[in-house]
Amino acid sequence: MTSLFAAMRLLRAVWVLAREGVIAALPRQGLSGPALTGHKIATRLARKRSEGLDSAQRMTKAIARLGPSYAKLGQFLATRPDIIGLQMAVDLATLQDNMESFPSAQAHARIEESLGLPVDDLYARLDEPIAAASIAQVHPGITRAADGSERRVAVKVIRPGVRSRFDRDLEAFFLFARMQERYIPSTRRLRPVAIAETLAQSTRIEMDLRLEGAALSELAENTKDDPGFRVPKVDWQRTGRDVLTMEWIDGIKMSDVDALKAAGHDLPRLAVNVIQSFLRHAVRDGFFHADMHPGNLFIDTNGDIVAVDLGIAGRIGIKERRFLAEILYGFIRRDYRRVAEVHFEAGYVPPHHDIEAFAQALRAVGEPIRDQSADTISMGNLLTLLFDVTDIFDMQTRPELLLLQKTMVVVEGNARVLDPHFDMWAAAEPIVSDWVRRNLGPAALVNDARDGVHSAIRIARQLPELADRTERLSRDIGAMAEHGLKLAPETVARIGKAEARESRWGRVALWVIALAAIWIAIAVS
C-alpha cells in the first residue's frame, strides 16, 4: 500500500511538471523511443500561459504547487549538473526558495519545545517572520543580556510537520530512482538510488539546525583572518534542533546591484572578493558554502561580504584539491598530458583507457578557449566541458567535484553581474598559485612525509587487533571448509523478502505506467 501511495505521489509530480511546462523546457536532443514520446506528450499537456516563461519561472510555479519537499529536491538537483544539465542546474541554484510562512504561535511552540524555556525568557522581543523557505522561516528578534544590553538577532525556526512530509515524498523519490535504475540501464552509471539516499541524508542534516550552526561556526573559524568576508555569529544558548539564533545582518543583498551602486560600493572589487573568498574556502580549507546565490550574500557598511543560510555546505579532500589545482594549471599552461596524468593518478579514469587518447580529448576542450578574451573565459564552463569529455572515458560520478563545479558557476555569475568585464583568471591566480606553492612544492613533500609517519604509527598500534582478526578469520574459513556454509534463519528470511520486494517493484512500475496512460488519455481527449 505504501508503494502504491508513493506511485500516486510520483504520478502527481510528473503531471504538475508537465502542466507547468518544466518538461517541455528540457532539451529533447538525443532523446529517442519512449523518452522522446514522453517529451512530446508533456509538451502538449503544458499550459499555454507557460510558453512565455523561461525554465526558472516554470520551475518556480511547479515547486509552489508541489510543496517544500520538491523545493528542496530542486536545490539538491542543482548540485548535480551531470544529471539535469548545467543550464537547469544554474536555474535551480538561483531560484529563491520562497514559501508561505506559518503562524508565529506555531514557531513559538517549536522554540519552546526545542530549548525547554518560554519564548519570553529567551527573547526580549520576537517579531513576525520576514522570510519563509521550504524547511524553516526567519524571525527578527532581540535578546537582552544580564547587564541589560540588547542585541538584534535572526531566529530560524523549523517548519511544523516538515520531517514527516519529507519522509512521505522521499518514498516517491526512491520509487522513481529504483524504476530508473532497473528500466533505464544507461543511467545506472549515475547511481540514481545512491543519489536518492544522498538527498535523504542531506535533508536530515539540514533539518537539524544545530548542524547548520556548527557549519557557520566552522566557516567563521576558517575565515577569521580573511579580508572582506564573514558569516553571522551563532548564539548557542538559543540554538537547538528546531531553532537557530544568530547575529542579525544589516546590509544590502548582492542581488540588488542598483542599491549597491547607490551606497557607493566598489562593484569590481566586490566581484574579485566573492571569487577569491570562494576559492580560499574550497582550495585552502576544503569546506565551502555551497548555496552562494546572490540572495544569500549581503554587503555590510564596510563593504564586506556576509554569507547566510549555510544549510548546504561542500567538502573536498586534499586529493580533490590537488586534482583541481593541477587541472587548472595544466589548462593554463596547455600541458594536456599532465592534466590527463592527474586524472589517471587520482583514479578517476579507469587504467584500461589510453592516456594519450585522453590527452587528445582534453586538448579539444582546452584549445578553443585560447583565443577568447580573459573576461569571457569561464572556469565553471571549463569544468563542465571537462566532465563531458571524461564521461566518454568512463569517469565515475564525483558528487563532491560536481557540487564544487555548480557553486563555481553560480559564484562566477555573481561576479559578472557586479562587473561585466570581470577577469576570472586574474582574480583566481593569486589564490590558486599560493595553494600550489604551499601544497605541490617542496613544502608538500615534508607534509606528505609527516602524514606517512602518522599513518604508519596508527597501523602499528592496530597490529595486535589485526593479528587477532586474522586468526579468527582463519579458524572460520577452516570450519566452513569442513562443515560447509550455513546461513542463519534471519539471513534466509531477508533473502526471501528481497526477492519479494523486487517482484513488487515490477508490479508497481506496471501500475504507474497504466495510470499514467489513463491520465494522459483523459487529459488529451
Contact partners, residue 349, CB within 8 Å, separation at least 6: 343, 358, 390, 393, 394, 395
Greatest alpha-carbon pair distance for the chain in Å reads 84
Of 393, 290, 375, 376, which is closest to residue 339 (Cα–Cα)? 393
Beta strands in 46-188 (DSSP E): 125-126, 131-132, 136-144, 150-158
The continuous run of DSSP H or E covering 158 comes out as: strand 150-158
DSSP assignment letter at 491: H
- Tell me whether strands 229-230 and 305-307 are parallel, antiparallel or unpaired: parallel
Rounded-to-integer distance, Cα 178 and Cα 194, Å:
10
Identify whether the C-beta of residue 296 lies closer than 8 Å to the C-beta of residue 307: yes
Q: Which residues are registered as beta bridge partners of 299?
A: 252, 305
The residue assigned the cell 515547486 is 63
**Can you say whether the dihedral through the CA atoms of 319, 189, 38, 505 is positive or negative?**
negative
* Distance (Å, whole) CA 110 – CA 88: 35
C-alpha cell at 342: 592527474
H helices of 184-229, in order, are 192-206, 209-222
CA–CA dist 171, 449 (Å, integer): 48
Q: Which three cell numbers stand for residue 489?
A: 534463519
Report d(CA 61, CA 74) in Å as an integer. 12
What is the Cβ-side half-sphere exposure of residue 86, based on CA atoms within 13 angstroms?
Answer: 18
Using alpha carbons, select from 329, 332, 362 the residue that is nearest to residue 344.
Answer: 362
286 and 219 in contact (C-beta within 8 Å)?
no
Active-site residues: which are they? 291
User: Which amino acid would we find at residue 80?
Assistant: R
Distance of CA 519 to the CA centre of its chain: 34
For residue 298, give the H/E element and its range.
strand 297-299
Unique residue bearing C-alpha cell 511552540:
109
> Can you say how many angstroms the Cα of residue 85 is from the centroid of all Cα atoms in its chain?
14
CB atoms within 10 A of CB 131: 18
Count of CA atoms in the C-beta half-sphere (13 A) of 520? 19
